[in-house]
Structure 1
């Protein structure tokens, strides 16, 4: 079964991811605009620089004794130039150049206007009726570096924004879903038999109809279960008195009847009435197990309850039950004494009925409130074992019984939030049948 994901997690991650993608899109758009504006600014700087240097270069060349002689412009301080320039005549002869200029990056013939080579952006201008030309070159790497720094400046807040927005979104979603989380906790905290309406205030409009539908369903389910339990309990209770009266009359008839078919028939009727009486008792126990009230308000010591129940059964079964108690003086549990008595009675009755008649039944209790009932006998197949806790299911069809003992035990175990496990063969043995029940311990 695929595990469900948290709505809070999905909203937090989804909103944060969506905002991050929007921020990235906005950043890319802003970076493209900034890059365009930077190129315009750099081009304007190239043009302005050329127009500033060209008149000075013309004046410098005109005042020379040898105007056609190439001259390097000395620098006041050594530095890397972002802008380098050449001043040439119309034929391409260099008349002046900056100290760090590389003539190879310029074209052979001077041109006017903007041009772009593989690594440089160039601008050319002319003077004196296109007899003197100046060309300025700027490395494209300089522009790329400026663009990268602008992009980094735009992305830097995003790295800080992502964790902050994730935390903020998570807190906001958690605050917004606090009533939904309270509704979930209210459902999780419920016991197995609690079918009362779930009341949580200020649920979101999307969840409120679901909560109302769940409450309506719980109410219908509670009414149906109460009707079933009431019918079961009332039927069993109403049958008890007429069954006892009829059984007494049949026993008297059996005693007074002469030897022959009439006495045999009376004996069969008496056995059938006894089975019906036991079934009525099982139905009463089942109604008790399904009717709630299986937990006690005060902790109960299981040791005297277990000792009394086993002693009572030993008086009827001929001391066939061996009891093993923990070393400590008491083991307290939250199970109701009557519910524990019904549970123990059904487990022992099942062990005596379906176990080997020449072997004892072992009943033990540990300090952790683990109740074990073990009987000897053939191994129960796995296919049969997993269905034994269902109603009216018996392991050996040739043995008479109602098939409700383990079903009643399972109902009580579920009602007290305990756990039950069936094992065959029994632990540490090659045969037999074992029932383990982990009862709820009382808080210390």
Structure 2
């Protein structure tokens, strides 16, 4: 499962949380405002009724026919939000506003507040409940005021949310800058780089973890150094006695008469030669794991490649075929000795395990792809996946230590290159192919 970015999670989480809090606060504020608006509108209804009712009673009392209904003419045409009726106890209309609709009022007037589907009404009485006034206000008017209040509260959020998202994102990014630098320092590490990772001003939650990683790297480095030192010293110390013993066995074999003693001496000589090759492989492996695989000055790979192939052709009877790119030079930061060890192991592996009647093809492309191809039966996939492990050999009768491809893989990883084993070889029904993408610094045309 792919892990998500801490920066992304914090940015989205904080923005979402703050937005939800703002929306919650806005809704709460709107409910309070709506309640206060209703109280204000109700107070306005009550106050209007208290102001109009005495005037209405005075006007009705001065009429010649007090029971006749009368419309109050407006001073000018306007939309009337508050309409009223003045009625007697039997519900007969005595006075009404110019825009009043009697159908929205109750049949029998009553004191206090009442609410219908579309109107809010308030009633009051005078002259011992013989004259009633009812004032009606459309609920749509109140809803419109509530919507406008809500819109006024939400409008700033439309600008604040993007600004807050940007601000939170920048704040989180700045706060996690040291953590991102630590991650990049870890990602930039080569396979053989076990030096402490130093990043300043890490957060208190991450700093103990970084210290623990550095302690682990230090312990791992010491363990590897001890292992490499033991391997290199053992192989080096074995070279002299092995060479002396091999010389004595060779002399014994030449001096021994024909018979079982000479055969036994030849077998011992063969075993000693295998030990000498194993000690050389162990020294190469210790060098590959010990670092120093990159050169400060870029080296031209083409003459190095031609020289190594020429060496093998002298010892193998010209079985190695070389194909070089069109350009005259190809520069890389890989150390010349490391490149020589890599190439010798690949060619030796191809000569030893490939078909004896087929040549070994070595080529370097213009994109710095090194290919070493040998003939022979295809290698099964389960065996192919384990060939770069130490002391693992393919299904072959040829003698070997099983370290050649392990050494090649160690060098490739140490120079940040890439190696791929392919069988059958590309474009062929059989064979074995090793592809190495070399790190090129510069390519100069000849």
Q: How does 1:122-271 map to 2 (within 5 A)?
A: 122-271=121-270
1:26 equivalenced with 2:28 (yes/no)? no
Looking at structure 2, the residues matched to 218 and 383 of structure 1 have their Cα atoms a distance apart, in angstroms, of 32
User: Structure 2 CA distance, aligned partners of 1:408 and 1:247?
Assistant: 26
2:395 paired with 1:396: yes
**Does the CA-based 8 Å contact 2:330-2:442 persist in structure 1?**
no
Residues 1:282 and 2:281 are matched in the alignment: yes
CA RMSD, aligned part only?
A: 1.2
The answer on whether the counterparts of 1:333 and 1:369 sit within 8 Å (CA) in structure 2 is: no
Say whether 1:434 aligns with 2:437: no
Aligned residue in 2 for 1:114: 113
Q: Distance in 2 between matches of 1:132 and 1:368?
A: 105
Give the Cα–Cα distance (whole angstroms) in 2 for the partners of residues 266 and 382 of structure 1: 40
SS in 1 for 2:117: coil
- Answer yes or no: is the 8 Å Cα contact 1:247–1:270 preserved in 2: yes
Name stretches of at least 5 consecutive residues in structure 2 with no aligned partner. none
Q: 1: distance between equivalents of 2:397 and 2:184?
A: 48
C-alpha deviation, 1:84, in angstroms: 0.8
CA offset digits 1:245-285 (Å, max 9, x no partner): 10000000000001111001000000000000000010011
Q: Secondary structure at the match of 1:442?
A: strand
Distance 1:168 1:368 in 2: 45
Matches within 5 A, 1:327-406: 327-406=326-405
Question: Contact 1:321–1:362 at 8 Å: present in 2 too?
Answer: yes
TM-score by length of 1: 0.98
Cα displacement string for residues 160-190 of structure 1 (whole angstroms, at most 9, x for unaligned residues): 2221111111111222222212211221222
Distance 1:9 1:165 in 2: 15
Do 1:87 and 1:134's aligned partners in 2 also have CA atoms closer than 8 Å?
Answer: yes
Cα deviations by residue, 1:197-245 (Å, 9 ceiling, x for unpaired)? 1111221111111111011000000000000110111111111111111
CA distance in 1, matches of 2:109, 2:291: 102
Give how far 1:443 is off.
4.6
- Residue-by-residue CA offset, 1:112-148 (whole Å, 9 max, x unaligned): 1111112111001112222111100011111111112
| Secondary structure of residue in 1 paired with 2:408 | helix
Displacement of 1:153 after TM fit?
1.6
Task: Kindly state the Cα deviation for residue 109 of structure 1 after the two structures are TM-superposed.
Answer: 0.8
Give the 4+ runs in structure 1 shifted more than 6 A: none
Map of 1:89 onto structure 2: 88
How many Å separate the matches in 1 of 2:210 and 2:156?
43
Please say if 1:51 is aligned against 2:50.
yes
Once residues 164 and 42 of structure 1 are traced to their aligned partners in structure 2, the CA distance between those partners, rounded to angstroms, is: 37
Counterparts of 1:146 and 1:13 in 2: how far apart (Å)?
A: 34
1: CA distance between counterparts of 2:383 and 2:122? Answer: 95
| Rounded Cα–Cα distance in structure 2 between residues aligned with 1:327 and 1:183 | 42
| Distance in 2 between residues matched to 1:68 and 1:442, nearest whole Å | 110
Report the 3-state secondary structure (helix = DSSP H, G, I; strand = E; otherwise coil) of the residue aligned with 1:138: strand
Structure 1 residues not aligned, in runs of 5+: none
The answer as to whether partners of 1:90 and 1:132 remain within 8 angstroms in 2 is yes
Matches of 1:216 and 1:246 in 2, distance apart?
A: 45
Q: Residues 90-114 of structure 1, C-alpha deviation per residue, up to 9 Å, x if partnerless?
A: 1101111112111111111111111
Measure the CA separation in 1 of the matches of 2:81 and 2:417.
82
- The 2-side partners of 1:199 and 1:234 are apart by 32
TM-score, normalised relative to structure 2: 0.97
Shift of 1:51: 1.2
What is the number of residues matched between the two proteins? 443
Q: CA deviation at 1:60?
A: 2.3
Q: Is the 8 A contact 1:354 1:396 kept in 2?
A: no
Aligned partners of 1:87 and 1:94 also within 8 Å: yes
Alignment of 1:37-48 (within 5 A): 37-48=36-47
- Tell me if structure 1 keeps the 8 A contact 2:122–2:134: yes
